[in-house]
Every structure is written in structure tokens, then in C-alpha cells.
Structure 1
Amino acid sequence: MTVVVHADATVLAEAVAARLLVKLIDAQAVHGGAHAVLTGGRVAAAVYRAVLASPARAAVDWSRVDLWWGDERFLPSGDPDRNETQARAALLDALPLDPARVHPMPPADGPDGADPELAARRYAGELAAAGDGRLPRFDVLLLGVGEDGHVASVFPGFPVADGLVGAVTDSPKPPPVRTTLTPAAINTADEVWLIAAGADKAEAVGTALTSGGLPAATVHGTSRTLWLLDAAAASRVPAPDRVPTR
């Protein structure tokens, strides 16, 4: 595990965007394609905007990138609060992606109607189909960190669903109904990046990194786990654990 601290949220977003582009380029060089798992939230939207603004985005063959989501608010398609909607507005609609390789979690007005359990099972099936019966090879999986230490829609004190994709019907953070990858799925990714900015994240980040006991402390990549923070979010992380940057 590596903790990288950037000066502020703007620098953090630009640095994560640069890392993401390099990771996709490297994955395509090795595997021919790349699979990335997206997240939502204000920092993620800033990262996506920074990717769009970077000239290096032209080095990625976007037609050979598969995009997945770590969790989703179970709302109708196009709802502005859906992570998919936010990612499309910030980045995806401007990229030459293959639509068949963009894999949003089912919406509440999708083929399963308003049943999040069926939607979760449908997404698990889509993952299995792309991975020849297993999960696809996730080259990089992005996660925000909540003020309570949650990641994706895995919340402290709430049971984790069985399997790889679960339905959440009583989220402590609105909206209450969501679908999410479980830690069992998250922890198959080659690299897991936990991204946090702001003083409101400092307590959760510090606790996860020093004491554990939060969902953010239970996730990891198979080859690399990065905590990518701004200085405010890292204010309770012991200095010896940090890799400071300008």
C-alpha cells in the first residue's frame, strides 16, 4: 500500500487523471485492451474533466477500453444523481468509446424494473460474460472514500451482500437503494485507487489507515493499492506513511 499526498484537490485530480491515462496505455500495450472501474462523487468528476483536458488522452485507444462501475444509485436512466450520468457529462460523451464496452449498472427503469436484487444479478451476469465465466481483468478500480469510511456502496455497520454484486436497500446515505460491487469483486482488481480530498474526509482516512475497521480498510489491489489524497484529507495520516508530492 502506498499513500500519495498532493497539495490540494485540483492538483490531486490532475495527478490521478495522468496516472489513469498511463495505466490505460500500459494495459493496452500488454493486453491489447483495458478494463477500468469508475466511481462517482465530486473528486471523480474532477478527475474525469482533467482526463478530457489532457492532450495525453489521444494516446489511449478508447475503442479498446471497457468501462465498469463500482456502484450506482438505483435511479432512472439519465437521472443527474446517477454516477453514470455524471461520468458521461464530465468525460465519456466526448470520447470515441465503443458503446458495447461501456457497462453501466442497470437503472431503476431498466429491464428489471424497480427490483435492485434483479439488477445486481443482471450486472453480475454481464461481468461473468465479459470474463468468460469469471470477472473481467480489472486493470484499475477507482474508489471514493466517504466521510464515514464507506467505499462504493459498502457502508460501515451494514452487512455485505453475498457474491460479487449486491443490492443495498437501506443505505445510510441517500438515495437508500443502490447496487454495488462487493469487496470480493473489488479485491480482484490489479490496482485499487482510493481517492479522497477535503478536511471532511480526514478522520475516515486516518482511521482506515491507522486502525482499520472501516470498509475503506478492507479493499486492496492484487498488485497495488494506492491512497491518493490531498493535504486536507491526509491531515490525520502519520507523516512517515506519506509520499508527499508538489
Structure 2
Amino acid sequence: MKPHVFVYPDKGTVAQAGAQRTLLAVAEDLNERDAHGRRIRERVNVILTGGSDSILSLKLMANNPLVDSIDWKRVHFWWGDERFVPADSDDRNSLQARRALLDDLVAKGDLPETNIHEMAPDTRSADAIASASDAENDAALDSAARAYEEELVQELGESPIFDLAVMGMGPDGHYASLFPGHHEITITDRLAVGVNHSPKMPPLRVSLTAPLLAQARRTWFLTAGEGKANALAHVLEKPNNVDYPSSFANGTEEYHWIVTEDALPEPDDKA
């Protein structure tokens, strides 16, 4: 699908737009009816990720009046990727999302804890983590990835489809934990994979794969800052470019980039 680009003046406005759009999309999906007045879907599955733009958007959602109008018992949250670190580490994407929004919804009784589908943390001792070999790390990562695959299939079937994926992109063009120069972007026979030696700290991660992410009904990228303009230019220019993994993203119904002015590629005067 051809991406649509929406431009806002600054990072805060991008996050606010992402928050408003997310709440509206979830509310509309939950309330959509067919010609006979029957619900189109009983639940909505949302992919979250880390990154400052996405977490800021979650914080803004927490204070948005629309948040109280949503039946959160029918909303399930998943992660596009996770840092494979101990459960209490501040690096955890899921912990950041909980602090920004999810824990408050759970505390109010609006969101069941069982609707939060976290990737497994690293349960090894600090000494075991420090002394682990590459092979041991690979085995631990693969175990965590396979456990998430099993949960995906159990909840959503053999070919999971998400209703909304809210993603971010790094200055190098990576999304989730699919990085340029790493083979995980080319994997097509898995739903989730372990990522060792990530170029961005921390080095151990688990990520959903590109084919699974591309099947989301709606995919939105929240992207702010001039440091991302070069990558975005390449992503918008050519799909499925392994040098800029975000170019593998897609949406079956919507594919949007919600960006700041300085993140936008320079216009081509010849166009």
C-alpha cells in the first residue's frame, strides 16, 4: 500500500496526533457494526513499541477524555519488539508503556491484566547474563521468541492479524528490532525472532518479523527529528530495502507516516 504522510510542526504535536488517532481508531473498531447492527469484531489487537515518540503518545493518551469512552476489556496489547533484559529494567518497552498508560487502566479495573501480552524478560541472574556466551544468549532469545509465537497463535490463530500497529523508526531506518545489516529483516518463516548484538543498546532483543508486521490492518509511524530525514527519504522511495528495514512495513487498510517537518525529506523540485 502507498504510504500517506502527515506533517506536524513538532514532536509534541506528532505525539498528540498519534494519541488522538489511536484512541479514535480503537473506539471506531470496537463500535463498528454491519448492516444488521452486529459488531464487526469482538476485540481489537494493538501493537505497541518503544521509543520516545511512542511512549510520549501513550502518556498523552492517559490524559485524553476519549480514554474513558473505550471498552478496554476488549482491547489487547502486544509488542513489536522488546529488550531482553530483566523484568524490572527501565529498558523494557512494556514497563515504559505500563508506566505511561497501561498500569493506570489496570488499576481502575478498565483493562484486564490478561489483555497485556508482554514478551518474556531475561530471568537469568546478573552473573549468568554477564558471563553468557553467544550460543547461550541465542538459545535464551530463541526460547523467548518461540514462547511469544505460541501465545500469538493461541490468541490469534496461525496467521495473526493486528488491527493497529503504532511504530517508530530509528535514524538508521530500523523499526521494531529489525536493523540494517542484520539478517532478521529477511526472515519469513517465523512470527518472532531473537536479535543478538543489536547495534542499539541493549544488545539482546526479541522482535516480531517483517511479514507479520506488514499484515496489520493499520500501520502508523510516529517519527520526529531531522536526524531521521535521510532514512525516511529512503523508506518512502523504495519498499523492501534491507538497508532501511522500515521500508518493509505496510498496512492492509492504512499505512501512515505521522512526522515532523524536519523529519520530512527535501521535496524533489523535478517532480
Tell me if TM exceeds 0.5. yes
Asked if 1:100 is matched to 2:114, the reply is yes
Q: Provide the C-alpha distance between the structure 1 equivalents of 2:95 and 2:269, rounded to a whole number of angstroms.
A: 37
1:212-223 aligned at under 5 Å gives the runs 212=239, 213=241, 214-223=244-253
TM-score by length of 1: 0.92
List aligned pairs for 1:103-122, cutoff 5 A.
Answer: 103-109=117-123, 115-122=140-147
Letter in 2 for 1:98: P
Alpha-carbon distance in structure 2 between the residues aligned to 1:104 and 1:227 = 25
Which residue identity lines up with residue 220 of structure 2 in the other structure?
W
Pairing 1:88-237 to 2, within 5 Å after superposition: 88-95=98-105, 96-109=110-123, 115-135=140-160, 137-160=161-184, 161=187, 162-212=189-239, 213=241, 214-236=244-266
Report how many aligned residue pairs link the two structures: 238
The TM-score normalised by the length of structure 2 is 0.83
Percent identity between the two aligned chains? 34
What is residue 244 of structure 1 aligned with on the other side?
Answer: none
1:24 alignment partner in structure 2? 26
Deviations 1:63-96 (A, max 9, x none): 1110000000000102101100110111111112
Equivalent residue, structure 1, for 2:36: none
Matched-pair contact (CA < 8 Å) for 2:217–2:253: yes
CA distance in 1: counterparts of 2:81 and 2:18, whole angstroms: 20
Q: 4+ runs of 1 displaced by more than 6 Å? A: none
State whether residues 199 and 233 of structure 1, in contact with CA within 8 Å, keep that contact through their aligned partners in structure 2. Answer: yes
Deviations along 1:115-172, one digit per CA (max 9) or x if unpaired, are 010000000000000013331x311001110110001000112102441100001211
Offset of residue 52 of structure 1? 0.6
- State how far apart, in whole Å, the 2-side matches of 1:49 and 1:98 are: 19
**Residues 131 and 210 of structure 1: is their aligned pair in 2 closer, same or farther, counting only changes over 3 Å?**
same
Deviates more, 1:52-61 or 1:157-166: 157-166
Q: Which moved more, 1:26-35 or 1:2-11?
A: 26-35
Q: Which residue does the alignment assign to 1:54?
A: 64
**3-state SS in 1 of match to 2:258:** strand
Unmatched tracts of structure 2, length 5 or more: 33-40, 130-136
What is the rounded CA distance, in whole Å, between the counterparts of 2:254 and 2:4 in structure 1?
8
User: Conserved in 1, the CA contact under 8 Å of 2:175 and 2:246?
Assistant: yes
Distance 1:178 1:66 in 2: 22
Deviation of 1:109 (Å): 1.2
C-alpha distance after superposition, 1:188-217 (max 9, x if no partner) = 110111111011111111121124521111
- For 2:156 and 2:234, the matched residues in 1 are separated by 35
CA distance in 2, matches of 1:195, 1:103: 22
Instruction: Tell me, in whole angstroms, the C-alpha distance in 2 between the residues paired with 1:80 and 1:72.
Output: 12
Residue type of the alignment partner of 2:116: V
**1:195 partner amino acid:** L
How far, CA to CA, are the matches of 1:228 and 1:217 in structure 2? 15
Partner of 2:12, secondary structure, is helix
Between structure 1 and structure 2, the one with the greater Rg is 2
Unpaired segments ≥5 residues, structure 1: 242-246
Q: CA deviation at 1:237?
A: 5.5
Paired with 2:267 and 2:178, the residues of 1 have a C-alpha distance of 22
2:223/2:263 contact within 8 Å kept: yes
